[in-house]
Amino acid sequence: MTGSFDLQSYMTKGVERVVAEALKATLKDPKESAFMLRFAAASRTASKKRRRAEDAGEHIPPFLIASITSRCNLHCAGCYSRQNHATTDEKAVKQLTAEEWAKLFDEADELGISFILLAGGEPMLRRDVIEAAGERTDILFPIFTNGTFIDERYFTLFDKCRNLIPIMSIEGGREITDERRGDGIYDKLISNMDEFGRRGLVFGASVTVTRENFMEVTSDAFLDSLSDRGCKAVIFVEYVPVTDESSELAPTDIQRDFLAGEIHRLREKRPEMVYISFPGDEKLSGGCVAAGRGFFHINSHGGAEPCPFSPYSDVNVKNGSLRDAMHSPLFTALQSGDILLDDHDGGCVLYEKRALVEALIGQKGC
Ligand code: SF4
């Protein structure tokens, strides 16, 4: 799609690596590896669908991020979703229904999208949507959750629907986690992890990497505390400032390069877990992979956005298909323009160039 760099092959290689590492990490659990083998086959079918579309001139990304609610019970310091007003304490209005999300998941499957990351707000508040996701076993649904609503009924659901993978947000040890998320959150997360481990259920951890917790969350002590409890994946999410005040929290370029090197080291030295960094190494992916290059975002009321950190949309899936959203005027302009490929300081080019993004949609939004 862009010059000689074959983005589809690059993204599919990334998917195949994650699936292969997940297969390796779950080998000891017969029920889990049986599911992962079936998913690996479904993922290959999805890759072929995307390749056929690519050869016919249409680019389909393998990932979708779906924010299924604008509500959350926590008020974490520096929460991008609250700062973007995508998460509020007001009554949730105009949210997509479970039927609308189910239709969207089926469209994604037909297109060849094999990973749908469920986020929010706090996604566990939408049990109806999560149960609909559980029925779509050809798609893997990592659920980015604060872990506070995980109860007996959810443990039973995760045992039944192995395509639902809870990814619990943690900042490091008790002190730094409770400082950002609230008292008692760390202990709740650890008791969840111990219970997942006891039941042999797969789970992961999402770590927001800042200048403050940088060394702690890449330390062997912290990673041991996760893998010893049965954690199978660690998603390092580089903190993306969404206000000038919070830009001091974003990792420096030196720290980001160190993190990229660390992840390569961990993949070799600690294969018991899968390691993913977001937004990842743009130098390798030929620029930012948002806006449908590697993924895109559907917000809680159906707006199609380049990324959760770039809350701009000019198309709503309530008025059209997922395919239409993928080819929105904004996405088309971003994919054909230079913004996504631009050099930039810090973690997020779309945040840095937000004035240009706003100009592209004339602030109309929907
Ligand atoms: S749990 Fe997530 S959505 Fe809720 S306040 Fe914390 S960071 Fe924001």
Identity of the residue numbered 235: I
Ligand 1 pocket mutation, candidates 122, 149, 150, 237, criterion most atoms within 8 A of CB: 122
Residue that the structure tokens 């000019």 belong to = 314
CATH number belonging to domain 7-362? 3.20.20.70
Beta-ladder partners of 144: 167
Query: What percentage of the chain has pLDDT greater than the value 90?
Result: 63
Mean pLDDT of 300-310: 95
Mean pLDDT of 96-105: 98
d(CA 327, CA 181): 37
Q: Are 204 and 142 in contact (CB under 8 A)?
A: yes
Say what the pLDDT of residue 342 is: 65
Our answer on whether the CB atom of 171 is closer than 6 Å to any ligand 1 atom is: no
Handedness of CA 187, 191, 196, 198 (dihedral sign): positive
Tens digit of pLDDT for each residue in 251-299?
888 888 888 889 888 888 888 888 888 876 566 677 888 999 999 999 9
Q: What is the pTM of this model?
A: 0.93
Residue 216 has pLDDT above 80, yes or no: yes
Q: Are 236 and 75 in contact (CB under 8 A)?
A: no
Our answer on whether the CB atom of 147 is closer than 6 Å to any ligand 1 atom is: no
Å from CA of 312 to ligand 1 middle: 20
Tens digit of pLDDT for each residue in 10-23?
778 888 887 887 77
Nearest to 46 by CA among 63, 70, 30, 31: 63
Say which residue, 329 or 9, is predicted with more confidence: 329
Beta strand segments in the chain, E: 63-67, 115-119, 141-145, 164-169, 204-209, 233-238, 274-278, 297-298, 304-305
Identity of the residue numbered 196: F
Atom 3 of ligand 1, nearest CA residue? 121
Å from CA of 119 to ligand 1 middle: 10
Looking from the CA of residue 120, the nearest atom of ligand 1 is 3
Instruction: Give DSSP secondary structure letters for 169-186.
Output: E--SSHHHHHHHH-TTHH
Say which residue, 125 or 240, is predicted with more confidence: 125
Mean pLDDT of 43-65: 95
Tens digit of pLDDT for each residue in 152-184?
999 999 999 999 999 999 999 999 999 999 999
Residue 347 has pLDDT above 70, yes or no: no
Q: Where residue 102 falls among pLDDT bands split at 50, 70, 90?
A: very high
